[in-house]
Amino acid sequence: METIKPKIAIVSLTSCEGCQFALLDLGERFMNAMNEVEMVDFRLLEDEEDSGEMLDIGFVEGNPMTVANEKTLLNLRKRSKLLVAVGNCAAMGGIPEIKNYREKKQTIKHVYRYIQGIENKEVKEVDNFVKVDFTLPGCPITAEEFLIYFPMLLDSAATGKALPEIADKPVCVECKKKGNRCLLLDKKPCFGPMILGGCDAVCPSSKMMCQGCRGLRKTGNARAMRAALKNMMNDEEFENTTEIYGLRDDIESRERDS
Amino acid sequence: MDIKINHIAKIEGHTGFMASVIKGDVKSAKFEVQEGIRLIEGILIGRHYKDMPVIAQRICGICPVVHNLTSIKAIENAMKIEVSEETVRLRKVMEHAQFIHSHALHLFFLSLADFLDIENDLQLAKEYPEETKSAIKIREYGMEIIKIIGGRVVHPLTNEVGGFKKVPTPDEVKNLILKGEEILPVALKLAAFFRTIKTPDFSRPTEYVCLEKNGEYAIYDGDVISNKGLHVKVDDFENKFHEFQRPKEVIKRVEKDGKTSYMVGAIARVNNNHGKLSSNAQKYLESLKFNMPDYNPFHNVLYQMVEVIHCVEESVKLLRELTHADLNNAITKKYVIKEGAAAAAVEAPRGTLYYWVDVDAKGYIKNVNIITPTAQFLTHLEDDIAAFIPGIINADEKTKEKKMRAFIRAYDPCISCAVH
């Protein structure tokens, strides 16, 4: 008798689709992981129409930026035992959210001459529309992290066991482990201390400051971070940088609460 | 009769297609884009120039390298910043690597199943395990280069205006050379397999546009040329090519000499510049026995294969040259932030990618324009399909739809890039 494999779908809303490519770039390791499940929908690899059946896990990448995107998202939630937000756009709004911080709906005037009939919604993260059970953070996601949490998520979906959680450690932990010289020591700004680790400190390892694409960690202290960076970037520069990955609204509410 | 495809899978981004045919005449053939607008140009305005390569590369998860490099080049041109030879070489290696992994993904995982009549890639991998392994290996070579030089494959990190934040070690460069040498025979073998696939007959003469440069197969820079005698500097691109929006459309179109139909990408480059391909790429091209100029868009997939061979050979050559250089010369030197406006272009896997940027004296962006390959060939693709439909009009619904999907996919459109 054939064993019944868990069913999953990987769905994308408006995005660069880089998180899907990060998965695909795992090559054989991704193919092997997918052999353990039934892929109901992954439009990068298959042409068949999605049958619309119930799912153990629905993965969603990108922002719901059109009415059609919203429908896709609501439908995915309805049919999935677990819904996983994949990447910075789904989790935090991503680069399109810069629009919210600046000229908002007026931003469109720089780009289009005829704006009538073009959907120009405020950018809102996935969890404003549906309940999110787990988040794979990052821009793009860390594919290795997917391989770690995927079996745990399948297990939770099958047994109802508690969901996994990404450990509340700053980017600095992995950065130190890699032997990188701390950018802050050279008076170069870096958000590492307040940001959730798990990315293998990929940015500071390339001498690029952490700009916070994985989001504030639970005990991350935004106020202390701002103070520590005071001599390296002014408030405006700090805010501008936090806008890139949709971090600014999270920092503002964290600072209000602390 | 309407032919409607709700959703085209296995391309980058979201779109449907709609054609209306009355008594055998194709009245319209049009994409119905389902992508939200991210307004990348709009959100860049008012931001510091250093954010631009970081944000702009996120237009596309498959070709971030080209968006990153084109924004960097445009800013450097605007501020009149000169970079070292080593910087240019490292960037060129990344560009070639970008072609390798993007093309290998498209020609094998996105397009091939169409020519073998297979429904999905997990099935394709089962029926063609050796070829699948080869395609993955070739992709991995391209990705490894970007990871080593750029720090990460999707959205690289080390490139910046003026040079690199960090450069690879001589040992890392040597390792990449070894990998490149190993991958060439793998690519040639996969190419031999691709020679056996059957592509439909279809041909519609057109204008092929791409970059061209003396002494090399232009990918990183050059002038804009065509097979119809066009030759302009990148700075004059927008004098010749006009971007415009049709009401209610989120992808802008591009018009040249009053016409909106011209073609860019691998098929355009190989047609225009095949004399400058590497030796094995030329040999493979000859073995395909296509008559130049070749106007069959299905052959785009095979021209991508030609370019994969070229880029493998060329990347090894560039890396070898770098073993004699001091890579530290590629580390960013101090430069002066200046007011200015300028254009830049590179060949992206899907065709010529154009950026224009205007920066103020403090380095904040006043204005920016981005014209992507897919925006340029969208009308051409619609026109091609309109010409293709009469030939398949008598097939049943499902076959018709399948053939149209295959046609669209052979073009390798990137809707995420086109809307941005």
CATH number at residue A87: 3.40.50.700
Same-domain check for residues A138 and A194: no
User: Is A236 within the bounds of a domain?
Assistant: yes
Q: For the segment B32-82, what is each residue's pLDDT rounded down to a tens digit?
A: 998 999 999 999 999 999 999 999 999 999 999 999 999 999 999 999 999
What is the dihedral sign for C-alpha A207, A212, A218, A219? positive
The verdict on a CB contact (< 8 Å) between A203 and B119 is no
Chain A interface includes B119 (CB < 8 A): yes
Same-domain check for residues A21 and A73: yes
Find out whether the peptide bond into A140 is cis, omega within 30 degrees of 0: yes
User: Is B1 within the bounds of a domain?
Assistant: no
Q: Locate the chain B residue with the closest alpha carbon to A29.
A: B136
Q: Locate the chain B residue with the closest alpha carbon to A239.
A: B47
3-class secondary structure, A149: helix
Same-domain check for residues A82 and A179: no
Say which residues have a Cβ less than 8 Å from residue B405's Cβ, sequence separation at least 6. A47, B5, B8, B114
Give pLDDT, residue B122: 82
Structural domains counted in chain A:
2
Cβ atoms of B416 and A17 within 8 Å: the answer is yes
pLDDT, mean of residues B200-215: 97
Q: Which of A159, A181, A212 is the last residue of a domain?
A: A159
Q: For the segment A206-250, what is each residue's pLDDT rounded down to a tens digit?
A: 999 999 999 999 999 999 999 999 999 999 999 999 999 999 999
User: Is B322 within the bounds of a domain?
Assistant: yes
Q: How confident is the model at residue B165 (pLDDT cuts 50, 70, 90)?
A: very high
Helices (H), chain A: 18-24, 28-35, 67-79, 87-92, 98-101, 143-159, 171-177, 222-228, 235-243, 248-257
Same-domain check for residues A204 and A227: yes
Same-domain check for residues A98 and A56: yes
User: Is B324 within the bounds of a domain?
Assistant: yes
pLDDT, mean of residues B3-17: 92
Same-domain check for residues A148 and A185: no
Same-domain check for residues A198 and A82: no
Find out whether the peptide bond into B413 is cis, omega within 30 degrees of 0: no
Q: Which of A109, A129, A159 is the last residue of a domain?
A: A159
User: Is B2 within the bounds of a domain?
Assistant: no
Structural domains counted in chain B:
1
User: Is A164 within the bounds of a domain?
Assistant: no
pLDDT, mean of residues B393-411: 93
Q: What is the DSSP letter of A184?
A: G
Work out the percent of chain B whose per-residue pLDDT is above 90.
94
3-class secondary structure, A243: helix
* Contact residues, B window 160-199, toward A, CB-based 8 Å cutoff: 165-166
Q: How confident is the model at residue A172 (pLDDT cuts 50, 70, 90)?
A: very high
Which residues in chain A touch residue B362, judged by CB atoms under 8 angstroms apart? none
Chain B interface includes A208 (CB < 8 A): yes
User: Is A213 within the bounds of a domain?
Assistant: yes
Q: For the segment A6-18, what is each residue's pLDDT rounded down to a tens digit?
A: 999 999 999 999 9
Task: Say which amino acid occupies A248.
Answer: R
Same-domain check for residues A11 and A138: yes
The verdict on a CB contact (< 8 Å) between A13 and B36 is yes
Same-domain check for residues A126 and A183: no
Chain A interface includes B158 (CB < 8 A): yes
Q: For the segment B263-291, what is each residue's pLDDT rounded down to a tens digit?
A: 999 999 999 999 999 999 999 999 999 99
Structural domain range at position A56: 7-159
Give pLDDT, residue B49: 98
Give pLDDT, residue B260: 80
Give pLDDT, residue B121: 85
User: Is A2 within the bounds of a domain?
Assistant: no
Chain B interface includes A27 (CB < 8 A): yes
Is the pLDDT confidence value at A108 over 70?
A: yes
Give pLDDT, residue B388: 96
CB burial of B325-344 (b: ≥16 within 10 Å; e: otherwise) equals: bebebbbbeeeebeebbbbb
Q: Nearest Cβ partner of A114 from B41, B152, B247?
A: B247
Q: How confident is the model at residue B392 (pLDDT cuts 50, 70, 90)?
A: very high
User: Is B209 within the bounds of a domain?
Assistant: yes
Q: Which of B154, B399, B417 to mutate to test the interface with A (most CBs of A within 10 A)?
A: B154
Chain B interface includes A51 (CB < 8 A): no
Q: How far is CA B18 from CA A46, B28, B72, B386, in A?
A: 21, 8, 38, 11
User: Is A165 within the bounds of a domain?
Assistant: no
Query: For residue B151, which of B223, B90, B238 has the smallest C-alpha distance?
Result: B90
Q: Which of A107, A130, A159 is the last residue of a domain?
A: A159
Is the pLDDT confidence value at A258 over 80?
A: no
A–B CB contacts, 8 A cutoff, strictly below: 177
Q: How far is CA B402 from CA B3, B108, B152, B243, B412, in A?
A: 11, 17, 36, 31, 16
User: Is B6 within the bounds of a domain?
Assistant: no
B266 Cα to chain A: minimum distance (Å): 21
Q: How confident is the model at residue A1 (pLDDT cuts 50, 70, 90)?
A: low
CATH number for the domain harbouring residue B409: 1.10.645.10
Give pLDDT, residue A2: 64
User: Is A104 within the bounds of a domain?
Assistant: yes
Cβ atoms of B338 and B25 within 8 Å: the answer is no
Q: Which of A8, A11, A21 to mutate to test the interface with B (most CBs of B within 10 A)?
A: A21
pLDDT, mean of residues A72-86: 98
Q: Which of B11, B152, B250 to mutate to test the interface with A (most CBs of A within 10 A)?
A: B152
* Contact residues, A window 138-167, toward B, CB-based 8 Å cutoff: 139-140
User: Is B22 within the bounds of a domain?
Assistant: no
Work out the percent of chain A whose per-residue pLDDT is above 70.
99
Work out the percent of chain B whose per-residue pLDDT is above 70.
100
Same-domain check for residues A154 and A177: no
Q: Nearest Cβ partner of A14 from B36, B154, B155?
A: B36
Structural domain range at position B84: 37-419
Q: In which residue are the tokens 């910075």 written?
A: A88
User: Is A143 within the bounds of a domain?
Assistant: yes
Torsion region of B262: left, alpha or beta (phi above 0 gives left; psi -120 to 50 gives alpha): beta
Tell me what ipTM this predicted complex has. Answer: 0.97
Task: Say which amino acid occupies A164.
Answer: P
The pair of structure tokens assigned to A41 is: 């929908």
Same-domain check for residues A239 and A136: no
- Report the 3 state secondary structure along chain B: CEEEECCCCCCECCEEEEEEEECCEEEEEEEEECCCCCCHHHHHCCCECCHHHHHHHHHCCCCHHHHHHHHHHHHHHHHCCCCCHHHHHHHHHHHHHHHHHHHHHHHHHHHHHHHHCCCEHHHHHHHCHHHHHHHHHHHHHHHHHHHHHHCCCCCCCCEECCEECCCCCHHHHHHHHHHHHHHHHHHHHHHHHHHCCCCCCCCCCCCEEEEEECCECCCCCCEEEECCCCEECHHHHHHHEEEECCCCCCCCEEEECCECCCECCHHHHHHHHHHHCCHHHHHHHHHHCCCCCCCCHHHHHHHHHHHHHHHHHHHHHHHHHHHCCCHHHHECCCCCCCCEEEEEEEEECCEEEEEEEEECCCCEEEEEEEECHHHHHHHHHHHHHHHHHHHHCCCCHHHHHHHHHHHHHHCCCEHHHHHC
How many Cβ atoms from other residues are within 10 Å of residue B2's Cβ?
10
User: Is B298 within the bounds of a domain?
Assistant: yes
Q: For the segment B183-192, what is each residue's pLDDT rounded down to a tens digit?
A: 999 999 999 9
User: Is A166 within the bounds of a domain?
Assistant: no
